[in-house]
Chains A and B, each alone.
Chain A
Amino acid sequence: MGWLAVWQRNFRVWKKLAGPSILGNLADPLLYMLGLGYGLGQFLGEVQGVPYLTFLAAGTLAYSVMNSATFETLYSAFSRMHVQKTWEAILNTPLTLNDVLMGEWLWAASKSLLSGVAILVVIWALGLYEDFALSLLLLPVILLTGLCFSGMGLMVNAKSPNYDFFLYYFTLVITPMILLAGVFYPTNALPAWLAVVADWLPLTHAIQLARPLVLGQLPEAAFWHGSVLLAYGVAGYAIGLRWTRRRLLR
């Protein structure tokens, strides 16, 4: 349970800045969702049988969870590891590197859970859902998505020499993922070869769980999609732990 003290440390810092943090997490995805949903939605009419804004809701939810988890494990965790030496200070106590990274992993997942819930509240408020009970199942999807991208983020963090390095990850991984995973349009609109690529992206799996739940259906192959998310998260965490050990404890 050593990780809990690390989680609590981050929570205590977050509490001091909770207002701007929540606003920042909420405002950006919300502006995209409403701007594109209402604006572009005028021209598009219905997508997959629902208004464009409703279609966009699930994608926005998934990508805002992804963004929140990624920012926390890249920029914020890097500050703690490299700039503030917080991790080094913790490693002088009985806690281990596994405690530190587990605390960071679960913290980033918790923070992205909050981001996801904020979007979910907007979905509820605007009535963009079909079935309230099914929309509650979005909560575990948010959690899995958060764990997935937090784990991957820790892996990137471990290899980063400075903040600029993260731009590679955003430009080469995150942005293409947003465009290919079905946030803005259904993946069956992609050419076949790109659709194959999209099938490998974790965000695709998050959206394939989230979208049916918003639209009032049970997702197909839910177990498979959930497993892929978890696998990416656990693999990212395990590799991140290994690389961070090599970075700090040698």
Chain B
Amino acid sequence: MKEEILTTQDLHLYYGDKEALKGINLNFDEKGITALIGPSGCGKSTYLRTLNRMNDLIPNVTITGTIKFKGDDLYAPSADTVQIRKEIGMVFQQPNPFPFSIYDNVIYGLRIAGEKDKEKLDAVVEKSLRQAAVWDEVKDHLHESALALSGGQQQRVCIARVLAVSPEIILLDEPTSALDPVSSSQIEATLLNLRHDYTIIIVTHNLQQASRIADRTAFFMNGELIEVDQTKNIFMNPANKQTEDYISGRFG
């Protein structure tokens, strides 16, 4: 039995008066990929953003319930959001490299944490870019601006940037929806490589993508978690009628 690294219990989230998450209970085992799917506005991205407290940045958000990361309450008054986000990294829909060189992008987190040892930084850059499967494409221009890269390369540099601070969990919010199919499949390959070492939670609109890469899939609708199971069960043999309707394209 694998250990549960992240647990959510009875999680409610309100934007002002509007209830966007209506009591989510969902746990994640260590390692592997979990995909969150569901129609637009179902709350899957909102849910993902509660897991590293990115929703804190939005005014008028109220959150109730508990989220525990390795047993510690993420929303305890003593919780340190900066530390949380180091352990639970995030990749966004829009590739968002900083307007600096590729090298600087990858080591940004470490450098600000005070790491100065050049050899160590070099090693981390290479390792992270290799893990993100973009090393071969960028190794000859590490000191050129990351903004000169293609969208897919930028996104993989962003993944490398997250990997460089060695998180335990990586959250991805529709990381391929702004990319072309070739870049998307490269990102998918990258994630499949990473699934043995990291706990990956990915929000995606692309059902094929979920079925290709996810070990588990969770289906959200109208702010509720409808069903979560092994991916093949969700796609081949869903327990819930709504899941079946969504998977088979009858709505959404």
Q: Are the chains A and B members of one assembly?
A: no
